C-alpha cells in the first residue's frame, strides 16, 4: 500500500482520540543551530482546519489493526474496515517531512494492539526514540501508552514524550466488562500510579539540577460519553479520583460517535453534544473553582442539567448563599458567583483594594451583567429578595423554546 493511502486511513482512524493537547509541555528551541522541530523561537508553524481550528500535531495511529474487540471502537477486531500499518521508518519520515513543510509542530501517536501490548508499545517507543536520538527532533511528542504493557516500556515512553496518556474509556469495571472485555480498570490505574511516581521522581531530579533529563511533563486520559448507561456522576467521580490520586493533567470527555457495523448493545445515536460540554464545565469547576463532586452531582441528581451550566445550576439550588458582596467576600466565594471567571475574580480583588465596584465596572470587565446581577451586591446595585427567589430565574437563563417545523426535511 502506498504511504499516502496509509496516511489517509490511519489519520482518519485517529480522529476519535481527543486526548492530545500540548498545554503545559516544556517548549524547546533550536536557536543554537542544532536539531529540528522546535516549538519555541523561529519556526513556530500551524495549519488550520476549514472551521478555523488550529492544527499543529500530526495525529496518526501506527496501525488500526487490533486484537481487542471493544464494541465502541471502529478499529475493533470484528470491525469491517480497511486496515493499514506504518513501519517505524515510515512514521518517522512522515513526522519529519510534515514538520519541514511547516504543517505541524509535533506528533501525536497511538496504535491498535498488534500481537500483544508489549510488541505494540515497543513499536510506538521505537518511533519516538528514533525521532529523539537519531534525528534530534525537539518538537512536541504525545504517546498513547497501553496499561497492559510492561512497566519498563511505559517508562521508556515517558522518557521520549512530552505528554503520555492511557485511555480509561469508561468509568466503571462493569461498563468495561460489557463493552471492552479485554480491558481492566485496576490495571489501568496501576499503570497510572507508576507513571505518577516516575513523573514526580523526574521532577525532583530536575529540581536538583539534572538539566539534561528528558521526561514527560504529565499524563492524561479520555473517557467516552453516552456509549453506556454511566451517569455524569460516574464520570465526574472517576475524574476526581484521577486528579487527586494520580495527578492527571486532563481528563478528556468524548461523546460517543456511532460507527459502521455497530454492535447491537450500543445506542443507535450519539448523545447530545451539550452533555460533553457540560462535563467539561463541571470538570473545570472541580479543577479551578474549588467545587467538590458532590456539590455538582449527587444521588438525587446523577446527571448534569443540559439547559444551564453547572455553576449556575449550583447557585440556583443554593440561593441562601447569595447575594454576595463583592467588596468583602473571600476569593473562594467570588469564584462561585455565576458569570465570574477566575481572571475576573482576581481583577475584582485587585480593584476593590482602591475603590468600590459598580455595574459599569463589571461591564468594562466584560462580565455578563444579566447572569451576575441577581447574585451580587455592588456599590450601586443590590438585588431584591423577590428577584433572587423568583421561580422564573432559571427560565431567564435556559434556552428559549424553539418552534418545530411542521414538515421535516
Q: How many other CB atoms sit within 10 Å of the CB of residue 56?
A: 19
Q: How far apart are CA 409 and CA 404, in angstroms?
A: 12
**What is the predicted pLDDT for the residue at 22?**
45
pLDDT band at residue 124 using 50, 70 and 90 as cut-offs: very high
Quick one: CA dihedral 257, 157, 188, 248, positive or negative? negative
Residue 199, pLDDT > 70, answer: yes
Q: How far is CA 143 from CA 58, 108, 165, in A?
A: 12, 6, 7
Which is more confident, 330 or 20? 330
Q: How far apart are CA 261 and CA 270, in angstroms?
A: 15
**What is the predicted pLDDT for the residue at 260?**
74
The whole-number average pLDDT for the span 105-128 is: 93
**What is the predicted pLDDT for the residue at 321?**
93
Determine which helix (DSSP H) or strand (DSSP E) holds 198, and give its type and residue range: helix 185-207
**What is the predicted pLDDT for the residue at 41?**
35
Q: How many other CB atoms sit within 10 Å of the CB of residue 64?
A: 26
Domain ranges of the chain: 3-296, 310-397
**371 prior amide bond cis, ω within 30:** no
Average pLDDT, rounded, for the chain: 86
* Cα atoms found within 13 Å of the Cα of residue 123, Cβ hemisphere only: 22
The whole-number average pLDDT for the span 241-261 is: 89
**What is the predicted pLDDT for the residue at 309?**
95
Q: Tell me which of 1-5, 124-128, 321-325 is least confident.
A: 1-5
Q: How far apart are CA 112 and CA 14, in angstroms?
A: 10
pTM of the model: 0.85
Task: Name residues whose C-beta falls within 8 Å of residue 28's C-beta, 6 or more positions apart in sequence.
Answer: 35, 38, 39, 40, 138, 139
Q: Tell me which of 15-19, 33-37, 275-279, 333-337 is least confident.
A: 33-37
Homologous superfamily of the 3-296 domain (CATH): Aldolase class I (3.20.20.70)
Residue 107 has φ and ψ, to the nearest 5°, of -130, 135
Which is more confident, 89 or 17? 89
**What is the predicted pLDDT for the residue at 404?**
62
Q: Tell me which of 9-13, 172-176, 210-214, 392-396 is least confident.
A: 210-214
* Cα atoms found within 13 Å of the Cα of residue 393, Cβ hemisphere only: 22
pLDDT band at residue 215 using 50, 70 and 90 as cut-offs: confident
**What is the predicted pLDDT for the residue at 407?**
60
Residue 87, pLDDT > 90, answer: yes
Amino acid at each position: 500500500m502506498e504511504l499516502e493511502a496509509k496516511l489517509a486511513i490511519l489519520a482518519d482512524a485517529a480522529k476519535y482520540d481527543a486526548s492530545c493537547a500540548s498545554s503545559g509541555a516544556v517548549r524547546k528551541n533550536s536557536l543554537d543551530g542544532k536539531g529540528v522541530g522546535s516549538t519555541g523561537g523561529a519556526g513556530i508553524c500551524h495549519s488550520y482546519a476549514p472551521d478555523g481550528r488550529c492544527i499543529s500535531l500530526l495525529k496518526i495511529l501506527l496501525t488500526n489493526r487490533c486484537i481487542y474487540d471493544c464494541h465502541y471502537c471502529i478499529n475493533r477486531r470484528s470491525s469491517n474496515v480497511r486496515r493499514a500499518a506504518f513501519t517505524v521508518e515510515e512514521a518517522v519520515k512522515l513526522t519529519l517531512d510534515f514538520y519541514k513543510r511547516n504543517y505541524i509542530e509535533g506528533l501525536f501517536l497511538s496504535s491498535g494492539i498488534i500481537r500483544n501490548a508489549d510488541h505494540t508499545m515497543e513499536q510506538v517507543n521505537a518511533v519516538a526514540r528514533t525521532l529523539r536520538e537519531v534525528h534530534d527532533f525537539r518538537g512536541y511528542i504525545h504517546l498513547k501508552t497501553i496499561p497492559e504493557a510492561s512497566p519498563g516500556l511505559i517508562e521508556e515512553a515517558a522518557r521520549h514524550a512530552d505528554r503520555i496518556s492511557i485511555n480509561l474509556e469508561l468509568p466503571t469495571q462493569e461498563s468495561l466488562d460489557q463493552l471492552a472485555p479485554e480491558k481492566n480498570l485496576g490495571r489501568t490505574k496501576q499503570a497510572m500510579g507508576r507513571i505518577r511516581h516516575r513523573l514526580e521522581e523526574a521532577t525532583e531530579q530536575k529540581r536538583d539540577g539534572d538539566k539534561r533529563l528528558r521526561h514527560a511533563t504529565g499524563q492524561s486520559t479520555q473517557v467516552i460519553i453516552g456509549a453506556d448507561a454511566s451517569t455524569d456522576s460516574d464520570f465526574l467521580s472517576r475524574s476526581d479520583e484521577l486528579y487527586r490520586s494520580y495527578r492527571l493533567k486532563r481528563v478528556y470527555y468524548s461523546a460517543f460517535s456511532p460507527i459502521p457495523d455497530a454492535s447491537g448493545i450500543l445506542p443507535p445515536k450519539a448523545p447530545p453534544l451539550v452533555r460533553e460540554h457540560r462535563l467539561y464545565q463541571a470538570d473545570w469547576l472541580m479543577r479551578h473553582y474549588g467545587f467538590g463532586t458532590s456539590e455538582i452531582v449527587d444521588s438525587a441528581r446523577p446527571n448534569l442539567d443540559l439547559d444551564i451550566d453547572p455553576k449556575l445550576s449550583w447557585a440556583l439550588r443554593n440561593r441562601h448563599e447569595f447575594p454576595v458582596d463583592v467588596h468583602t467576600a473571600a476569593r473562594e466565594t467570588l469564584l462561585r458567583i455565576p458569570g465570574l471567571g477566575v481572571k475576573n475574580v482576581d481583577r475584582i480583588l485587585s480593584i476593590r483594594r482602591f475603590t468600590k465596584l459598580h455595574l459599569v465596572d463589571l461591564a468594562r470587565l466584560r462580565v455578563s451583567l444579566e447572569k451576575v446581577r441577581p447574585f451580587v451586591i455592588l456599590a450601586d446595585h443590590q438585588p431584591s429578595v423577590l428577584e433572587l427567589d423568583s421561580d422564573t430565574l432559571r427560565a431567564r437563563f435556559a434556552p428559549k423554546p424553539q418552534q418545530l417545523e411542521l414538515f421535516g426535511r
